[in-house]
Amino acid sequence: MQESVNRPPQSRPTIPFDAAKLDGLMEQAGIDVLLATSKHNVQYLLNAERAIFFDYMDAIGVSRYLPVFVYAKGAPDKTGYFGAPLEAHQRAVAPLWVPEVQTKSMGSVDAIRRAADLIRKSGVPAKRIGVEMAFLPVDAGNALAGALPGSEIKDALFVLERLRAVKSPEELAKLKTASELVTESMLEVIAGHGPGTTKRELFEALRVAEVRRGLTFEYCLLACGDSHNRAPSEQRWEQGDVLSLDSGGNYHGYIGDLARMAVLGEPDQELKDLLAEIESVQQAGFAAVKAGAPGGNIYAAAEKELARTSQRVHTEFLAHGMGLVSHEAPRLTTTGPVPYDDYDASRPLQAGMVVSIETTMKHPKRGFIKLEDTVAVTPDGYEIFGESGRGWNVGGGATARR
């Protein structure tokens, strides 16, 4: 069991994130010491795979797994990580860059007390401690306040989100891979299933297709026929019916989130026209993606095009940031389904940011029709990840099952 590691300075690997940027963000937010406790931010800051045993769930015994990453502003040599014994072998095989590594914590209170102990012993200023409020259990929060009674506890969500806002080339490659594998999986499922297939069977087939390609399957929202219900069910996909697949699968933590359309039989002219309207809105949104341009230009361009369409009353547009989290920076609207401010609407997009652009039509007769694409901001424009299958894909599996 790896319990504690103190690595001599000369053998420490390079810090995997922009420490100067993090220091600046902490200074602006009035934070002296940062404690990250979400699995996605801990993964990012460590540049290491998540604990295998706790990848799908956190509960164990009478408490939960709580990874804690401690970073003091301007003092990366005081950084520490506190994990569980069940991840000790992983950390031995792939040592972490941080000077202090402990894999002894069984439970949330134990982990946070060990982190507080490191802060006290390191002697760093700790009047203002930034934590992830949404990812810090009440018992751990109370323990932190009790261990450091003179410190102010502040939310560090914004600091960590801005640190991750611009993706590295390695992150972009993972997002591109995730997107391509999701679309490949969708096209395989569409081609291999035909009349009589239930939505539940399609859901399961997509799960298997994504996992077989090395993705972690997260969800599939699917609608067929004239129904707008996107839950798996015994409803059957029949000849002439449209099918909407909207799935998220992640690759090493990075999310591919796309939506594609299919039909059993050749699409008629009305279906072609409806998807063309959605495509026109998507293209307008794409065209506004450019480094240096305000993020709000995406909405302005898409909504202007949407207003010209015949189905504007039944159609919605949405754009949001993508990465380790769905709906992260850049934040582009205050009116989307996930509540947050539009911080990036008036600020310039930066190369390396990634945006999900989606247009959804809930047609009263033809059903649920949607395209969702993942778009990376490049120095001279944009790149679509997982671009295949954006038209009407024709279902296969000609044998009906009754």
Please report which confidence band the pLDDT of residue 2 belongs to, taking 50, 70 and 90 as the band edges: very low
Considering just the CA atoms, what is the radius of gyration of the chain in Å? Answer: 23
C-alpha to C-alpha distance for 225 and 69, rounded to whole angstroms: 48
Cβ proximity of 89 and 51 under 8 Å: no
User: pLDDT by residue (tens digit) across 80-111?
Assistant: 999 999 999 999 999 999 999 999 999 999 99
CA distances to 70, 129, 184, 275 from 81, in Å: 6, 16, 37, 49
C-alpha to C-alpha distance for 353 and 373, rounded to whole angstroms: 14
- Across 149-161, average pLDDT: 97
Cβ proximity of 82 and 68 under 8 Å: yes
Please report which confidence band the pLDDT of residue 13 belongs to, taking 50, 70 and 90 as the band edges: low
Residue 389: predicted pLDDT: 97
Residue with more model confidence, 5 or 301: 301
pTM of the predicted model, to two decimals? 0.94
- Across 51-76, average pLDDT: 96
User: pLDDT by residue (tens digit) across 321-360?
Assistant: 999 999 999 999 999 999 999 999 999 999 999 999 999 9
Residue 397: predicted pLDDT: 63
Residue 123: predicted pLDDT: 95
Please report which confidence band the pLDDT of residue 402 belongs to, taking 50, 70 and 90 as the band edges: very low
Mean pLDDT of the chain: 95
Domains of the chain: 4-164 (3.40.350.10), 169-394 (3.90.230.10)
Cβ proximity of 368 and 227 under 8 Å: yes
> Before 330, cis peptide (omega within 30)?
yes
- Across 222-250, average pLDDT: 97
